[in-house]
Amino acid sequence: MASEQGGIDRTGTGALNEADLMSLEQYAKSRDSFRASVIAHKHARTVPVGPNMTWAFEDRLTIQYQVQEMLRIERIFESRGIREELDAYNPLIPDGSNWKATMMIEYPDPHEREMALARLRGVEDQCYVAVAGFGRVRAIADEDLVRENDTKTSAVHWLRFELTPPMREAIHNSAAITVGTDHPAYRHETQLPAESALALGRDLS
């Protein structure tokens, strides 16, 4: 297995299976170096959208790290438990036609955060990406999950953006990419820097 050799699979897509993971013992030995590599890898994939929102675009490596951390924290080593974690996290890996992101709403002050989450109900459905020359692609948010209630939204959401073949071709040809949200209480937009656009382009076939 690549993990037994200490290698890191930087392929952006494709489901993880048990053979891709390090055992608890292997992970304990490799965790510091693996974590440093993942943090460096995440840099280009983490995008601020305004002052209080961050999108972290996931791929196979970032999800492998999350799974390894969960197995470590929960001390899971049996195949059934590992399979349950993989089933939970594999849907967050892009499949070549989309981007998948963890969206985090961030207010350091707890009281301010509570008020903001009340104002921002539905913000997850108002997130979008736009490729130059094409219309906006709205997020498909929190599939099969309930991440808000009648009074507030959650501080964390999962977003999927489905991109058409012409959009994907344009991205591979260095088209500008904009991400943002037009929720009435939070209208912010960011053009991806070249480093981020290149990293996300690798997720698309």
pLDDT in tens, 123-162: 999 999 999 999 999 999 987 665 566 689 999 999 999 9
pLDDT band at 12 (very low <50, low <70, confident <90, very high): low
Q: Evaluate if pTM is beyond 0.85.
A: yes
The domain spans of the chain are 3-43+59-92, 98-201
Q: 144 burial class (0-12, 13-18, 19+ CB within 10 angstroms)?
A: exposed
DSSP codes, 150-171: SS-B-SEEEEEEE--HHHHHHH
Secondary structure string (H, E, C) spanning 79-131:
HHHHHHHHHHHHHHCCCCCEEEEEEEECCCCHHHHHHHHHHCCCHHHHEEEEE
Burial 69-106 (b: 16+ CB within 10 A, else e): ebbeeeebeeeeebeebbeebbebbbbebbbbbbbbbe
pLDDT in tens, 187-200: 999 999 999 999 99
Give the pLDDT confidence score for residue 199 in this predicted structure.
97
Q: How many CB atoms lie within 10 A of CB 201?
A: 17
| Calpha distance 189→116 (Å, rounded) | 18
CB of 186 closer than 8 Å to CB of 157 = no
Task: Provide the percentage of residues in the chain whose pLDDT is more than 70.
Answer: 90
| Calpha distance 176→132 (Å, rounded) | 5
Give the pLDDT confidence score for residue 205 in this predicted structure.
86
Give the pLDDT confidence score for residue 148 in this predicted structure.
60
Residue 94 has pLDDT above 60, yes or no: yes
Q: What is the mean pLDDT of residues 93-120?
A: 96
Residue 34 has pLDDT above 70, yes or no: yes
State the amino acid at position 58 in one-letter form: E
Closest by alpha carbon to 119, among 146, 145, 84, 152? 152
Q: What is the mean pLDDT of residues 28-43?
A: 97
State the amino acid at position 164 in one-letter form: T
